[in-house]
Amino acid sequence: MILGKKLKKIIKMTDKIKYASFWERVLALLIDTSIYLMLITLAIFKITGVNDFASLLNNIYDFVLLNLFLAVFIFPIEVAMVSFLGGTPGKLIIGIRIQKESGKLLNWKEAFIRLTLGKAVSGLFFGLGYVWIFRDEKKRAWHDYVNNSVVAKKNNYGWIIGFLILCLFLFINFETVIGIVASIGANSEFYSSLIFG
């Protein structure tokens, strides 16, 4: 009797869930990637903006530290964000959330498994696990099956905000790359003397 009530409650909850599409999930990934790229391009811009050896070494040191930070801490930060908030910055911006079918967030262990083993499984066979979203009625990739999670849509128009923010981040990245090229050109004598003596 109690089991029947719980099952009905879960069925009711899953009827109300709107699942995030493949393209919404790709948009979230692009936002996340553009954030990381922005950090890296800004650090490179800082390196190329100098014309003395001591400042160059100092900025290269900062760049190496930033990359070590990203390599070591981004993954644990993403696990924490998935378990406490339901997603990475990109998912949160566009209003989609990684959760159990019951609506509960994943715990630390589930988030860790989803982001490691689960993503590895989805990447097998040339990314077939990601394309599986098109076949599944709940729009799940293989890494969602690993711990029975879904990506729920909390906002129907979040993709518009996400697209605008992605455009802003891409514009910042583009302008930073233009600045890097200009800095290298402006400091070409300094860089030539480093390379050619």
pLDDT at 96: 97
Residues 144-157: what's their mean pLDDT?
93
Instruction: For residues 169 and 163, give the distance between their C-alpha atoms in angstroms, rounded to a whole number.
Output: 10
Q: Are 182 and 153 a contacting pair, CB within 8 Å?
A: no
* Whether residue 84 has pLDDT greater than 90: yes
Q: Are 121 and 114 a contacting pair, CB within 8 Å?
A: no
pLDDT at 8: 54
pLDDT at 122: 87
Q: Are 152 and 91 a contacting pair, CB within 8 Å?
A: no
Q: Are 131 and 124 a contacting pair, CB within 8 Å?
A: no
* Average pLDDT score, the chain: 90
* pLDDT tens, residue by residue, 4-20: 565 555 555 555 899 99
* pLDDT tens, residue by residue, 89-135: 999 999 999 999 999 999 999 999 999 988 888 888 888 889 899 99
Q: Pick the closest to residue 169 from 28, 23, 27, 35 (CA basis).
A: 35
Identify the H or E element spanning 106: none
